[in-house]
Structure 1
Amino acid sequence: MKKNILFLLLASLSFTLFSCNKEENDRWNVEVKTSEPVKITDISAEFYNEKIPFQEFKEKYSFFLAPQVPDATYEKKRNNTLERRMYKNAISLNKIPQLEKDLSELFAHVKYYFPKFQNPKVYVFSSATELYQEPILYIPNQKILFIDLSAFMGEKSEYYEGIDYYIKKDMNPENVITRVSETIAVDYVPVTPDQNKFLDKIINQGKLLTLQDAFLPKTLDQYKIGYAKSQQEWAVSNEENIWNYFVENDLLFSDDGNLNERFLNKGPFSKFYTEIDQKSSPRVGAFIGWQICRKYLSEHPEVTLQQFLQKNATEIFNNTNYKPKS
């Protein structure tokens, strides 16, 4: 019988939220120019402005409105007291000047590594939480970025009643930039549909998180991967045990699609099928893939970020001395 993982419950210890070493930090500690300012357009500010006729709004923002939705439906939404209140709450918590500054820094880092990147036109709005699961829309070929601020009003917001906690914990104002960074990062990780082994998938997730390291070098790891503080601490303290479980249960080269739901997809916890599951952190496969990628880059400082992204999972793994120890 294959061994079950033996988890270390070290809740009383204090762990740093940064698990990368000094060499890894140095790689991303670069000086970038943020000479290109970001100017955000608040669509909802005009949508809920009674002084602006709807037809005038429609002509200006026709690209934002669904053509199949009748004007009367939008008129009703404009006068919805609850939706207006939610918008005001969202915009009060997500300060536009600070968001413009943060986006400018993020875009500068992206451009540093990918010179062809061009700053997108940024629009913010409130969907009254209708789009809370997919609040960021990035259209690179049109250079447009939409951000639904009603999805970032704080995990304890009165408007989030009924939403699962594992989703709400990513719905804080401080999660906006990491969600934007994550969405942009997807555009730079090569799609490998023919590589369906678990190792391929965790390395692919690791590449996305490595781009977060590059794009947001000052951001805490917990926000990059979407963890609560306690979940980050749990993953760090149990890294060796998680890895041993993957190895001892022959998961690395498995093509079992259920492993996505167990260890890669967002959820309340990972599924080892043991009594400890509900105390575990979610997405531990992505966490391990991230640490493998970090280890590879620390051991191969001559490899550029662009070169690294083109390497397949097997090459990265075989050229990495990844042996986590608690």
Structure 2
Amino acid sequence: MRIFYSIAIIFILMLSSCKKEHTWDVDSSGIDVNLVIHDISKNFFNDSIPLSKLKTDYPFFFDNSSDSIWDAQRLDPKEKLIYNESLKQFGDFKKLDNELIPIFQKYKYYFPEHETPTVFLYSSGLQSLDYPVIYSAQDKLMFIAMDAFLGEKNKFYDSMRVENYLRRNMYVERVPAQVVSAIAENIVTYSPRQQKFLDLVLYEGKKLILQDALLTDTPDEYKIGYTPEQMAWCVENEGNIWNFFVEQNYVFSDDRTLEKRFLIVAPFSKFNNEVEQQSPGKIGAWIGWQIIRKYIQENPDVKLQDLLLDMDSQKILQASKYKPEVNGNSTTKYQKKKKEGVDELYHYAE
């Protein structure tokens, strides 16, 4: 039975990948990228280097804490152990360099006005697990917390009681997706005046489209942080999920609790019914991703820059002709009866 289930998952994912348009196959290999990677912690834990020099070389790394606190941290055995664990995962950074250069080449292809950032690696003492990659396009700086990628079974995460659903993305193979996610936070337009559920869903979908554009050979589950089984569940239940949003009058709702239920990293999405624990977290982001993909399929001439800056969500939804089929044999059972006030959505794709 387990073998049959595994085959079914592979088959579903193959069907999904067959539908995908290869709109991101661009040749950016000739674009010059001068990528510089600095390991801040290598010098930080080298007690032969004066603290004053570190503060001069890396002023952005230090806050107003007293020198005695910094000196104690530099000598802390646990801090050093965490850093050494990080080096086991990252090695000599050659692999990371080979992974990041194509990302920044494609980034520069689509956004030539943005310069390649200087990348600083560091060990955060397990303090940056929630935000492992920070990027500032304006300052041309990127920071990667190496200790956020020690592997899901690492003993330090046990001591921190890190939840299992978070650990899935805490290994070094997920660094490229986290880097693009940080870039997306700078690139994709966010409007505080447009906060309908649809606006938020498409905002997340656009950030994932940037993953498609910059990580053309990366599996979808890496981009969104799902397991293959969760990806298969999403593909199988896409129509039912969208139908649920429509019939509950969520699509154009300004209820901010929907963001917590469907758009944040969580062990599962909050449908408030018996099937919710089968779902992965932030299912609304996955739906937004599929809407944007369908929009690109229907409008193949759209430029990535224009798409990421255009916040007219209703226009995108209508032009996408998004209307996934409700699967009657799905593991997810939602009510099929239309509710008053949602008829306008049913003819968007007609």
Structure-1-length-normalised TM-score = 0.92
Aligned match for 1:89, one of 77, 85, 91: 85
Between 117-126 and 277-286, report the one with greater CA deviation.
277-286
Q: CA RMSD in A?
A: 1.8
Deviation by residue 1:76-128 (Cα, 9 ceiling, x = unmatched): 11111111111011122023111112111111111111111110011000011
The one-character-per-residue Cα deviations of 1:235-287 (angstroms, maximum 9, x if unpaired) are: 12111111111112111111111100110011110000011222211111111
- Is the 2:34–2:116 contact (alpha carbons within 8 Å) kept by the matching residues of 1? no
Write the distance in 1 (CA, Å) between the matches of 2:78 and 2:94: 25
1:255-294 aligned within 5 A: 255-294=254-293
Q: Partner residue of 1:296?
A: 295
Q: How does 1:110-189 map to 2 (within 5 A)?
A: 110-161=107-158, 162-189=161-188
Aligned residue in 2 for 1:226: 225
Aligned to 2:9, the other structure's residue is in SS state coil
Matches within 5 A, 1:13-28: 13-15=8-10, 17=13, 24-28=20-24
Point out where structure 2 has 5 or more consecutive residues left out of the alignment. 328-350
Partners of 1:11 and 1:261 in 2: CA distance: 31
Note the C-alpha offset of 1:20. Answer: 5.7
Q: Unpaired segments of 5 or more residues in structure 1?
A: 1-9
| Kept in 2: contact 1:189–1:208 (CA 8 A) | yes
1:191 aligns with 2:190: yes
- Secondary structure (helix, strand or coil) at the match of 1:108 reads helix
Does residue 70 (structure 1) correspond to residue 66 (structure 2)? The answer is: yes
- Cα pair 1:107 1:119 within 8 Å, conserved: yes
Aligned residue pairs total: 316
The alignment partner of 1:238 has SS state of helix
CA distance in structure 2 between the partners assigned to 1:287 and 1:82 by the alignment = 38
Shift of the 174–17 alpha-carbon distance from structure 1 to 2, 3 Å rule, reads: farther
AA in 2 matched with 1:278: Q
8 A contact 2:126–2:147 mirrored in 1: yes
Shift of the alpha carbon at 1:13? 1.9
**Aligned mates of 1:20, 1:217 — CA distance in 2:** 15
- Of the structure 1 ranges 108-117 and 185-194, higher mean CA displacement relative to structure 2 is found in 185-194
Whole-Å separation in 2 of the counterparts to 1:11 and 1:251: 34
Check whether the contact 2:269–2:280 (CA below 8 A) recurs between aligned residues.
yes
The alpha-carbon distance between structure 1 residues 157 and 282, as it changes in their structure 2 partners (threshold 3 A), is same
The CA deviation at 1:59 is 2.8
Given residue 106 of structure 2, which amino acid in structure 1 is its aligned partner? H
Q: Which residue of 1 aligns with 2:319?
A: 319
User: Aligned-pair distance for 1:23?
Assistant: 7.2
Distance 1:259 1:324, change over 3 A: same
* More divergent stretch after superposition (132-141 vs 13-22): 13-22
Q: What SS is found at the alignment partner of 1:35?
A: coil
Matched residue SS, 1:30? coil
When normalised by structure 2's length, the TM-score is 0.86
Instruction: Determine the structure 2 residue equivalent to 1:5.
Output: none
Question: In 2, Cα distance between the equivalents of 1:309 and 1:19?
Answer: 27
SS at match of 2:144: strand
- 2:335 corresponds in structure 1 to none
Change (3 A) 1:168 1:49: same
Q: Which has the higher contact order (CA 8 A, sep 6+)?
A: 1
After TM superposition, list the pairs within 5 Å mapping 1:43-62 onto structure 2. 43-62=40-59
Shift of 1:11: 7.3
